[in-house]
Structure 1
């Protein structure tokens, strides 16, 4: 009888803890990002990122207020794992709004192929 209370308490904790789960569905909901720009950078292959740096400079000049929540996610760094479920390709540029990736550009591509979709997305931000 005296162990029944302990059993109920332990069972309640197990049920409660097993109901918790990580969100790994390609959204940023686990991070709670209302608006943000994430740049995935691989320090070992910076030469492949030249077009991204050029695009980022141009985008920041054109949309300075949109870059208030700008994060560089460096490969092999501690905070990169928090953003890993959103992207696994380097280099990449993601625009996140209301906890969802609304625009994603990945791979070694020319500056114009980065600017066009990202500019169109940032243009619609309020």
Structure 2
């Protein structure tokens, strides 16, 4: 009887801690990514992605070595759920550094609106 309070307390803590998830905090902590560029693409709405492709081409020209860790994640693709958990909007462009999303552009955007924040994030990589 005197240990029942301790057991209830321990079970409560275990239940609470097991319900926490790294994927819910929108970080890349579960992926162990030092540096990456992730482009979320939906080929059903490719017309909204023109400015993203233009920006990506320009960024690749300006930062060729940074595009070693570039990945396109197609909406229809069956991927590891950890990539999907980072973003649920298409199109989107994420820059990840040290398991944290340091730049995120989502939805329809102009080329310049994509270039500026992504360039700023990639400048920090050098």
TM-score, normalisation: structure 1? 0.80
Partner of 1:89: helix, strand, or coil? coil
Alignment partners' CA distance in 2, 1:21 and 1:76: 28
Superposed structure 1 runs of 4+ greater than 4 Å apart = 18-22
- Gaps spanning 5+ residues in structure 1: where? 1-14
- Gaps spanning 5+ residues in structure 2: where? 1-13
Question: For residues 62-111 of structure 1, what are the alpha-carbon distances to aligned partners after superposition, in whole Å with 9 as ceiling and x for unaligned?
Answer: 00111110010110211163312211110010000000000001111110
Alignment partners' CA distance in 2, 1:106 and 1:92: 4
User: Residue 95 of structure 1 contacts residue 102 of structure 1 at CA under 8 Å; is this kept in 2?
Assistant: yes
TM-score, normalisation: structure 2? 0.80
Check if 1:78 corresponds to 2:56: no
Alignment partners' CA distance in 2, 1:68 and 1:20: 35
Alignment partners' CA distance in 2, 1:43 and 1:67: 21
Alignment of 1:8-27 (within 5 A): 22-24=21-23, 25-27=25-27
Alignment partners' CA distance in 2, 1:55 and 1:46: 15
Matched positions, count:
110
| Equivalent residue number for residue 112 of structure 1 | 112
Check if 1:100 corresponds to 2:100: yes
Alignment partners' CA distance in 2, 1:74 and 1:21: 28
